[in-house]
Amino acid sequence: MTNRKIGFIGAGKMGSALMQGIIKAEIVPPENIGASDVYEPFLKELQAKLGIRVSTDNAVIVRESDILILAVKPQTLGSVLADLRNEITSEKLVISIAAGVPLSTYEGALLEGTRVVRVMPNIAATVSEAASGISPGKNATPEDVKAALEIFSAVGTAVQVPESLMDAVTGLSGSGPAFIFPVIEAMADGAVLEGMDRKSALTLAAQTVLGAAKMALETGMHPGELKDMVTSPAGTTIQGIHALEEAGIRAAFMNAVIRASERSKELGKK
C-alpha cells in the first residue's frame, strides 16, 4: 500500500477523518493522498494541516490516484459518477462510503469492469474508533478487499459482510453513535439529579460507556455474562437493570436499529 496513491472525492468530516487516520497509521505518506472538494478554503486548510495534494477538479484527483474514495453525499453521487465515468478505468479501485447506495448503482454508472467496494463507516472515524462494514462488488479482487480493510482499520474496526447486510450495518454502526449519545446524556442527567456537577457526570458517563465497550471487545465474553459480573443479589445494579427493563430498553434499541436499517433500504431505492 505504501506506494499507492489514494484520492478522495469529497473532503468533509468523514473524508478528512479518513485522511488523518491513513496518515497516522502510515498506510501511505501524506504526499500520496489527494483530495477534491467544491469548498476551496477548506481544501487549503487540509493541505496546510496534513501535507496532502488538493484540487477543486475531481478529474485531476482521479487521474493521479490508484484508489478512489467517494466521500460525497448520496444525493450528489449520481452527478459525480456521470462526470467521472470516462476517467475511472478498471485499473483503479473505487471505494464508496455513500449511505444506502447499492453496488449495482456504481457498476451501472461506471465503465464495465470497474472494481468497486462499498463501505459503511461511522462518525467515530473522527476519533479513530469507527465501526465499518465492507462489501466488495463483482469485479473487486481479494487484494481490493484487503486494501479496503487496511484503510478503514486505520480509523477503527472493519469487517467484511455480504451486501445484503449493508443496510443492517447502516442501522447498527452507521446510525449507532447517535443512539448512544442520548444514553450518555441521560445517565449524566441521572447523576446531576442526584447532586453531581454536569462536567463530572458527563465525563463519568462517557468513560463508563467506553469502558463497557472495551470490555466487550477485549474479553470476547457475551454481554449478558459481563452484566452478571456487575450484578450482585439485591444490589444497586439489579435495581437499575430492573428500571431499564420496565422501560423496554431492549425493544427500544432493537427497534432503533431496525427502523434505521429500513430507512437505508428506502434510500437505496431512490
Question: Is the Cα dihedral 127, 132, 137, 143 positive or negative?
Answer: positive
Q: Please state, in angstroms and as integers, the Cα–Cα distance from residue 70 to each residue in 112, 118, 157, 222, following that order.
A: 18, 10, 19, 36
Instruction: Give the separation between CA 100 and CA 262, rounded to whole angstroms.
Output: 10
Question: For residue 258, what is its C-alpha cell?
Answer: 431496525
SS3 70: strand
Residues flagged as binding site for NADPH: 58
Residues flagged as binding site for NADP(+): 9-14, 71-74
- Phi then psi for residue 232, to 5 deg, are -90, 155
Strand order in the sheet with 156-160: 53-55, 33-36, 6-9, 67-70, 93-96, 115-120, 130-136, 156-160
SS3 207: helix
Secondary element (H or E) of residue 7: strand 6-9
CA atoms within 13 A on the CB side of 213: 14
Place of cell 442526584: 194
Residues flagged as binding site: 9-14, 58, 71-74
Neighbours of 222 (CB within 10 A): 10
Instruction: Give the separation between CA 102 and CA 191, rounded to whole angstroms.
Output: 44
Question: For residue 215, what is its C-alpha cell?
Answer: 470490555
Q: Facing residues of 95 across strands?
A: 69, 117
